[in-house]
Amino acid sequence: MLTPDHAEERRLIRLSVVISIVSAVLVGVIYVVFVRTRWGQEIDDLAFEGRAAVSAQATKRLENMLRVITETSLFVLGGAIVLAALAQRRLRLVFVVGVCMSGAVVTTEVLKLHLLTRPSFSDVQGIANNSYPSGHATIGMVLSLGMVMVSTSRWRKVVTAFAALLATAFGTAVLATGWHRPSDTFGAYGMALAWFAAGHAVLVWSDVTRPYRHGMASDRDRPPSRGLLAAAAVALLAWVGFALYRSIDENGLRAVAYGGWYVMACVLIDLVGIAVVLGFAVLTGRRARLRRDAWPVPEASARTRGDIEASG
């Protein structure tokens, strides 16, 4: 159980819970403002209609990329994330990251398809049916946060940079193709962060109440399985190659002229997506430091710290 000696863990748990609650509340606020009101829909659709400046060829490539998400992402990238967690011998981390990824995606689909509705206003154009939140943007963000959650300390910076790129690419692609409005992406980001922040709180709490040594900075720990880590890396690279193959044709990608509101929406989507990924990386980094401090590495084993210290 948590004792007065675990003050830092308590603060980290509270912070994670607050982030989770605030993110969930923001999902509701964004829905009320940009879906349920006339002026909110008008603002949202200014950026949505601006994507018409994107060439038909570029739009087709983006649509191909998004279809790759449906076809392969949850299976290949999700499997790579699970392999990375298994490589560190953390069944608890495997369970939590799996629940967070599946929970966010299922919640998004239930809200979009069964619970939330979109009122129709005569002077507002665009998609008539409810598209909030975006399922594809949710998938992109949960995969990104999942990679950050299971990454080791040595690779956290590289993984975080790739995760931010992945999340923002999905978020802007659904707008460019006309599949979703900007608010749909922001709602997806909030949904993913709500689940993963809650999962992070569970992991911090379990570190204290049910400690286990694998992955902690102890000389008795074994380093991560290099075979499983290599398999996860191969799966990730294979997915990137397949996505590029499906989204780029013989003419390549070319620059197009974008509408002003569309550009502003894309920039805002990118900034929010990067902030979500970086913020979650900071959370996982704080947990890794707490685990390291709880199990100090003897001098003889200090050189292996990068291999055995991890966020999970």
pLDDT digits (tens, 9 = 90+) for 71-80: 566 677 788 8
Contact 264, 189 (CB under 8 A): no
Q: What mean pLDDT do residues 16-30 have?
A: 97
Which amino acid would we find at residue 280?
Answer: F
Give pLDDT, residue 134.
93
Inform me whether the pLDDT recorded for 182 exceeds 80.
Answer: yes
The alpha helices in the chain, defined as continuous H runs, are 7-34, 38-50, 56-68, 78-87, 91-110, 135-150, 156-176, 182-209, 226-247, 260-294, 305-308
Give pLDDT, residue 231.
67
pLDDT band, very low/low/confident/very high, at 260 (cuts 50, 70, 90): low
- CA–CA separation, 259 vs 266, rounded Å? 11
Q: Which of 160-169, 184-193, 237-246, 303-312 has the highest mean pLDDT?
A: 184-193
Residue 122, helix vs strand vs coil: coil
Give pLDDT, residue 176.
78
Give pLDDT, residue 304.
43
